[in-house]
Structure 1
Amino acid sequence: MRPGRNPLREQGLRPVTPGAPDVRAPGFAAEARRQSPPVSRSPHDEEGRTFIDAVSLDWADED
Structure 2
Amino acid sequence: MSHVKSRVQKQRDALRKTGLRPVLIWVPDTRRPGFEEECRRQCLLVAQADSTDMAMQQFMDETLPDVESWTE
TM-score computed with the length of structure 2 as normaliser: 0.32
Name the structure, 1 or 2, with higher relative contact order (CA <8 Å, separation 6+).
1
Larger radius of gyration: 2
